[in-house]
Structure 1
């Protein structure tokens, strides 16, 4: 209801307000002002009007026939409900919007039925001023002013505020148009945000650990309506300036036969704005030893077997050449640590291990240990580079088990005995080589 009340006719026969207080809102005695409120976005909202007699009139002169609204084109209308009691309704003719207009002020008068059917000589009441305030409805969600926020911080430092995000709301009332809270949606981030949108870090950041953080932030208005879309905040971590050579790596990969190559194309000397008197640089290159740079060269063969957990009864398939182990005599070799031999395979030679040395069929539990430095393949990419293979004697076209490199993956093939094919079992295992 907009407001309840009554209209009355004074002794002079003119309709008038019967009491100065309508809907607990004061109507002043001199101007008859009325203040009411209706929800935003609602149509058909109405309140009652009434009347009572204070004169000796009878018949049509004692009835209220119409209410008329004067002034601006307000989207309201007043309709008589009961001519005798003078009660009526004031209602909105259509939806009203607080964001378009917050208040309406207009004049209303009551007309009695004392004249003829034409109504030309109807008597009317004094003018009453009606104030209508449109109550806001929380219909809009908060929206951030920027599509993306960017900031940069120095590593190892705690900031009170890295940057401030800001959202706004289209609602007209302070309750729904103000932003009361912000929240970080991304979990497990070293950042926090306060109710004013200030983002700070909760721990010291490290450039070596992570160079950029992307944090998603949302906002809530004071009616606890959440933003429809969160905003992304990108925070870059800048390293602390350290004097010295920057942009170089201790290891450089080089493919033989590819010609000249720049070792450190991005290398530069960082002085941190300090004066520089002289520069001295020395580059040391290691030898082209076949196993140089591999972890294998750090330990002996027996130490490697112990570190990697190889079984004590392991069989060495590539032993040093001797009278009883002559199948490695034709292989290319290179001296290793503690007199261990390093064998080189280029795809044109292989070692045929005797049957008495290598097991023909593997059990459910076994270990194959190999230490290998793999270079670039000289053949087609689809070719298999076999390390170990156990095959049929006839034409050697069926492999019982095989360990090989194929398309940058280490693959192990295992076919079970014929008596074990009653169930499906995995036959190939793949590991990606870095």
Structure 2
């Protein structure tokens, strides 16, 4: 009898053990795919359909409850938490703030785990793997920025342009709505310019170089989310006169202060070719004064002062002094008016002055100076002849020159015979 009871107890024990191992019969069930949306700089993902895991072992404790959602994909910055283990409701969250400008979309795998046979989750079962696709919604956090800090262009006066230049701005937001530029505007008032939505600037009237040579306008912009640029951009437009070939940048009048050394006559002069090719450039500069006695000094100094200014030796001999009883060889010369204290002689090739021997230095050494103060006009006739300024010749026939200073064409020539007997 005792053996029968023992067998019955053993059979009960075995039956209970077999029933216990078969409690968690089913795997959790979730959808095969999920689509979620999260707004950047937030952490809650809105899933469609909602994250819910079902287990047919419910309402058996542990076996019919959901203990975890596991995400496969270490690079996915998300985690899934169980909100209610009995109902299987879960929630998908970002582990940190997501940035649309860094990554717009995420895809990963998720699985649901039940609680198995006890608190430790022993003998737990996993659902099938579901695909989760997350899209990051953009926030209009960036304002448009112009590509250049300033813009410059040049136009020719008297013309209407369809587009003088184009300004362009960019936006760092990731979505088309917030990253695209929808409008440009000129904020400067009372100007002859307009701008379209693509940033093309045109003039609304013909510009005049004489009226205004440069314009500066300020331009701002908005993205398609109506966020305005923090800083406007300056646009400089230069007006150029109608191109006329020739020399430009020179003045007909040049002022010179005596004793100031050399001076550039036309430092800003340039040749405008209007884009046409050049084969030869030939330029002639002619300086004129209105009076024979007026030179670059504009008669600021007297003749004596000029000689001193030009470095004339104090011991020099004046070969053309003012006429007097002792210096009568200049009495027959034609004179021209100069300063009150100056006397100017005019030579036209028909008169000359014969200087006495006692006036001319006879002891010239290897170093001597001949100084002249003269103005030379154009030579008469087609063929320029020698125009002698100073000549020392034989006394008889006067045809052999010992020394002579003369002008021939555009040259000033000095002839010297070192030995007068030659």
Shorter-chain TM-score category?
0.5 to 0.7
SS of the aligned residue for 1:90 comes to: strand
Q: Give the aligned partner of residue 180 of structure 2.
A: 178
| Alignment partner of 1:89 is 2:77 | no
Alpha-carbon distance between aligned partners in 1 of 2:272 and 2:138, rounded to the nearest angstrom = 60
Check conservation: 2:36, 2:45, Cα contact below 8 A. no
Check conservation: 1:72, 1:106, Cα contact below 8 A. no
Alpha-carbon distance between aligned partners in 1 of 2:173 and 2:103, rounded to the nearest angstrom = 12
Compute the displacement of 1:259 (Å).
10
| Alignment partner of 1:16 is 2:33 | no
Q: Give the aligned partner of residue 324 of structure 1.
A: none
Alpha-carbon distance between aligned partners in 2 of 1:221 and 1:118, rounded to the nearest angstrom = 55
Q: Give the aligned partner of residue 210 of structure 2.
A: 208
The structure having more radius of gyration, on CA atoms, is 2
Alpha-carbon distance between aligned partners in 2 of 1:79 and 1:169, rounded to the nearest angstrom = 36
1:34-66 CA distance string (max 9 Å, x none): 111111121355665334554575222121111
Alpha-carbon distance between aligned partners in 2 of 1:43 and 1:278, rounded to the nearest angstrom = 79
Unaligned 5+ runs, structure 2: 1-23, 292-422
Unaligned 5+ runs, structure 1: 1-10, 21-31, 287-434
Q: Give the aligned partner of residue 167 of structure 2.
A: 165
Q: Give the aligned partner of residue 100 of structure 2.
A: 98
Check conservation: 1:46, 1:91, Cα contact below 8 A. no
Q: Give the aligned partner of residue 229 of structure 2.
A: 227
Q: 1:113 to 1:96 in 2, by over 3 A?
A: same
TM-score normalised by the chain length of structure 2: 0.54
Could you tell me which of 53, 66, 69 is aligned with 1:67?
69
Alpha-carbon distance between aligned partners in 1 of 2:273 and 2:222, rounded to the nearest angstrom = 47
Alignment coverage as a number of residue pairs:
263
Check conservation: 1:159, 1:200, Cα contact below 8 A. yes
Structure 1 window deviating more from structure 2 (54-63 vs 168-177): it is 54-63
Alpha-carbon distance between aligned partners in 2 of 1:56 and 1:79, rounded to the nearest angstrom = 20
Alpha-carbon distance between aligned partners in 2 of 1:265 and 1:53, rounded to the nearest angstrom = 96
Check conservation: 2:192, 2:205, Cα contact below 8 A. yes
Q: 1:282 to 1:243 in 2, by over 3 A?
A: farther
Q: 1:115 to 1:123 in 2, by over 3 A?
A: same
Q: 1:72 to 1:282 in 2, by over 3 A?
A: same
Q: What's the RMSD between the two structures over aligned residues?
A: 3.5
Alpha-carbon distance between aligned partners in 2 of 1:268 and 1:79, rounded to the nearest angstrom = 80
Alpha-carbon distance between aligned partners in 2 of 1:117 and 1:255, rounded to the nearest angstrom = 109
Alpha-carbon distance between aligned partners in 2 of 1:99 and 1:262, rounded to the nearest angstrom = 61
SS of the aligned residue for 1:175 comes to: helix
Alpha-carbon distance between aligned partners in 1 of 2:69 and 2:262, rounded to the nearest angstrom = 99
Alpha-carbon distance between aligned partners in 2 of 1:75 and 1:133, rounded to the nearest angstrom = 13
Q: Give the aligned partner of residue 361 of structure 2.
A: none
| Alignment partner of 1:189 is 2:191 | yes
| Alignment partner of 1:135 is 2:137 | yes
Q: 1:267 to 1:103 in 2, by over 3 A?
A: closer
Q: Give the aligned partner of residue 20 of structure 2.
A: none
Alpha-carbon distance between aligned partners in 1 of 2:77 and 2:197, rounded to the nearest angstrom = 39
